[in-house]
Amino acid sequence: MSSLTALVTGASSGIGLETCQYLLEEGYTVFGASRSGSPIDHDNFIDVELDIRREADVEELFSEISNQEDGLQVIVQCAGVFDASPIIETESKVFRDHLDTNIMGAFHVFKHSTELIVPNETHYITLLSVAAQKGFPNVGAYCASKYGLKGLVESLKEEWESKKVRFTNLYPGPIDTPMWDEVMDEFDEYDRGSMLNLDDYIGVLDMVVKSAPHIQFPELTFLHRSGGLNP
Ligand SMILES: NC(=O)c1ccc[n+]([C@@H]2O[C@H](COP(=O)([O-])OP(=O)(O)OC[C@H]3O[C@@H](n4cnc5c(N)ncnc54)[C@H](OP(=O)(O)O)[C@@H]3O)[C@@H](O)[C@H]2O)c1
């Protein structure tokens, strides 16, 4: 095992999967969490199947990490759900699932990660979205969850001042990932060609991960220049 260790949630797909691959290439030991498991096969990758909505699953994840590692240098929270429908047509269970996954899931990770904090090293990188900066039609549940997640991280930043961790919050515009596969019909006149791609994301992540330990990026927005869903 290397001396640099990372946890990535949402490791089975899209941004989380790409993040795991990037961190492995950078020499990290990576714990990757998702419900369905990650396709990554690498000596320094530990696949953990869990449901982030369940606090007991997340507690178990951290005890597994603690059994193998003394601390976490990077925690990238990518697990999330995204559904599209007008607010009055959104089923309550779908709305609740956004809150359970996108806010409660992150809450569980923050809450149970404290034993693995290494002062002046641990870097929490959280996938927010432009949907935490502006409301968009037909994604009310998603926007509500991302605004809520923003509130959670902003409060933690104040509470955890003495822990000497850093918080970077990423606010990307649309990135072409499997997240969009089921919902494109709801976005007329919007095509995947005007989304960011995963290489664009990795370029930003690389800058963030390699930045000096005293730097954090409280609100790093990045957008496709011609993207149709920009704030
Ligand atoms: N793509 C974009 O345009 C975009 C833009 C801004 C922000 N973001 C944010 O970036 C993050 C990743 O998005 P993506 O585009 O990579 O989406 P994605 O391809 O759909 O991946 C979502 C990941 O979240 C995991 N996940 C969902 N529910 C979970 C649960 N209950 N427990 C554990 N894992 C769960 C999924 O794994 P399982 O299904 O296997 O559990 C999957 O690995 C999300 O937070 C999203 O809101 C995305």
Q: Where residue 16 falls among pLDDT bands split at 50, 70, 90?
A: very high
What's the confidence (pLDDT) of residue 187? 79
34 CB under 6 A from ligand 1?
yes
- Domain parsing of the chain, residue ranges: 5-222
What's the confidence (pLDDT) of residue 189? 66
**pLDDT (average), residues 76-87:** 97
Centre of ligand 1 to C-alpha 71, Å, is 25
228 vs 10, which has greater pLDDT? 10
- Could you read off the pLDDT of 169-210 as tens digits, one per residue? 999 999 999 999 988 887 776 788 889 999 999 999 999 999
Q: Helix axis angle, 198-209 relative to 14-25, nearest 10°?
A: 50
126 CB under 6 A from ligand 1?
no
Q: Where are the alpha helices (DSSP H) in 26-139?
A: 55-68, 92-98, 105-112
Backbone angles phi, psi at 23, to 5 degrees: -65, -35
**For the chain, what is the mean pLDDT?**
95
81 CB under 6 A from ligand 1?
yes
What's the confidence (pLDDT) of residue 231? 59
Please tell me the CATH code under which domain 5-222 is placed: 3.40.50.720
Atom 12, ligand 1: residue with shortest CA distance: 78
- Could you read off the pLDDT of 114-154 as tens digits, one per residue? 999 999 999 999 999 999 999 999 999 999 999 999 999 99
59 CB under 6 A from ligand 1?
no
32 CB under 6 A from ligand 1?
no
**CA distance between the termini of the chain:** 42
pTM, two decimal places? 0.97
16 CB under 6 A from ligand 1?
yes
What's the confidence (pLDDT) of residue 230? 63
